[in-house]
Amino acid sequence: MTYGITGRKCSRLVIRDGIVVDGRGTPPKGPMDLVIEDGVIVDMVRVDDVARNKYPEDWQRPEADEVIDASGMYVLPGLVDMHAHVPLDHTKCGPRGMEYAYKLWLAHGVTTVRSMGFDVEDELYEQREVLRDNPELPIPRLFIMHGCRPDLQDMTPERARESVKEFAGLGADGVKVIGGYSDVLAAICDEAARMGLDGGVAVHLSLDSGIDAVTASEVGVSTIEHTYGIPEAALYGTQSFPPDYNEMDELARFRESAWNWIEAEQNPERVLDVLDLLVENGTVWDPTMVVYEPSRDLDRAKTLEWNRLYGVPPLRETWKPTPGIHASFYFDWKTSDEIAWKEKYRIWMRYLSEFFRAGGTITAGADAGTQYTLYGFSMVRELELLQEAGFHPIEIVKMATTNASRTMGLSRLSGGIRKGYAADLAIVDGNPLDNFKLMYGTKVEKFLDDRVTKVQAGGVKWTLRDGVIFDCDQLLQEIAEYVQEFA
């Protein structure tokens, strides 16, 4: 495995003059000098006029051998992609696919990915060791939820407990479950708690399991992924599927999936009761809105500029509508489907707001890899969708950082940008609270005062993971070169 460029480690670093968004939901403040020693934030020094004028005689700027000039930039905690699939199989994204995805994440300020299973997990555990021994490698923190499909393995509660013990022995941080039965899910949750797995149990509630969000929350899952199981819990019985509906037909499944929220909306009180129960049980909602977005505007997804520039050809090949390939069902997608999905998003977003207002915790995850959804870029798009759902950008940064680290029990990150916490940072050229688009690796276009000269602005300039500095333009350059190799 060749990783290309590596990050720079330094014993003492100062990031000068940045505006800090701490990730705890408080307003931006600055300019500040952040002092980092051995991967930890050791000081945060105000360098604004008020601070300078208050004690002019003993006012001193912190010094270091390594300095990053962040004037005009915003410093955020490193983002956490709560729903990631590392392309480990060496076919989906080519022979260096893993490294390719890592770089796309880091180039967008993503310093931690929660791996959601069903990859070649042995290799992922190895990767985590490689990173531990070589922190300068361009690899985000890997938080491993070991995949488990109780339905395919015909699992009993006893067998499920054995599996969880096995995952814990391998070094899993938690378990990701799709499908199965409620008694099996209860056993998995109980055993994960007993084994002290900080990540707990994340569920993708497939309809054929018959487990809805209420059942999952009551047995103690830590996060509900996507949206499945939440609207269903508010229906009286089943969704009104057409008589010829077949759950194994992906086109039909995604077509009908538009209607789960639309039908639930007919019972708004029941939806609110479901959300209240999730809040009461501390169940976190990780909606991953971005991965379904092609359903509401297929042509937008097909023509995304970043996919053209940074999407590796074998991956783009898998997105082409093809019967019989998972999540490639867009071969007969209709105007009416898009209209239904747009309506679904409106309702889904409104209930995300209701969940938040009731005290619920929301995180940001992208589930990149399928459906025109590219690693890293899609994480920024998820932030935009959360803004569309009505959340304040300051709150969204919190969702994408400390909400996630707290959910995962990552105590070194849970303070966001704070003295004594890990220096996982994203330094953005410009103010992402004003425009999240600044964080895309494709940058934004601006005209200079002459109104003729066009320049590129924005982008995450540097990403720090554990204080190791990655130059994002260099990462993007290497990604583009890798994509070119396929030409």
Binding positions for Zn ion, rule: CB under 5 A: 116, 367
Contact 398, 23 (CB under 8 A): yes
- Complex with Zn ion: residue 36 or 366, whichever CB lies closer: 366
* Separation in Å, CA 416 to CA 75, 179, 426: 11, 34, 11
Shortest Å distance, C-beta 446 to Zn ion: 36
Say how many residues make up the chain.
487
Shortest Å distance, C-beta 116 to Zn ion: 5
| Terminal alpha carbon distance of the chain | 21
Provide the 10 A C-beta neighbour count for residue 306.
17
Shortest Å distance, C-beta 289 to Zn ion: 13
Give the DSSP H or E segment for 376: none
Shortest Å distance, C-beta 205 to Zn ion: 12
- Complex with Zn ion: residue 19 or 80, whichever CB lies closer: 80
- Complex with Zn ion: residue 202 or 479, whichever CB lies closer: 202
- Side-chain-side CA neighbours of residue 225 (13 Å): 25
Torsion, Cα of 379, 382, 386, 388 (10° steps): 130
Q: Which two tokens stand for residue 76?
A: 């955020």
Any residues with CB less than 8 A from the CB of 229 and at least 6 apart, and which?
203, 205, 211, 212, 213, 216
State how far the Cα of 97 lies from the Cα of 368, in Å rounded to an integer.
13
Shortest Å distance, C-beta 250 to Zn ion: 15
State how far the Cα of 173 lies from the Cα of 168, in Å rounded to an integer.
7
- Complex with Zn ion: residue 263 or 367, whichever CB lies closer: 367
Torsion, Cα of 144, 149, 153, 157 (10° steps): 80
- Complex with Zn ion: residue 116 or 201, whichever CB lies closer: 116
Contact 131, 160 (CB under 8 A): no
State how far the Cα of 220 lies from the Cα of 190, in Å rounded to an integer.
8
Shortest Å distance, C-beta 81 to Zn ion: 11
Shortest Å distance, C-beta 83 to Zn ion: 5
- Identify residue 451 by its one-letter amino acid code: R
Provide the 10 A C-beta neighbour count for residue 447.
10
- Complex with Zn ion: residue 116 or 279, whichever CB lies closer: 116
- Complex with Zn ion: residue 116 or 472, whichever CB lies closer: 116
- Complex with Zn ion: residue 225 or 384, whichever CB lies closer: 225
Provide the 10 A C-beta neighbour count for residue 96.
20
- Complex with Zn ion: residue 116 or 427, whichever CB lies closer: 116
Shortest Å distance, C-beta 473 to Zn ion: 30
Shortest Å distance, C-beta 367 to Zn ion: 4
Shortest Å distance, C-beta 76 to Zn ion: 25
SS3 292: helix
Select the residue whose beta carbon is closest to Zn ion and give its number: 367
- Complex with Zn ion: residue 178 or 483, whichever CB lies closer: 178
State how far the Cα of 304 lies from the Cα of 288, in Å rounded to an integer.
18
Contact 140, 106 (CB under 8 A): yes
Q: What are phi and psi of 87, to 5 degrees?
A: -75, 90
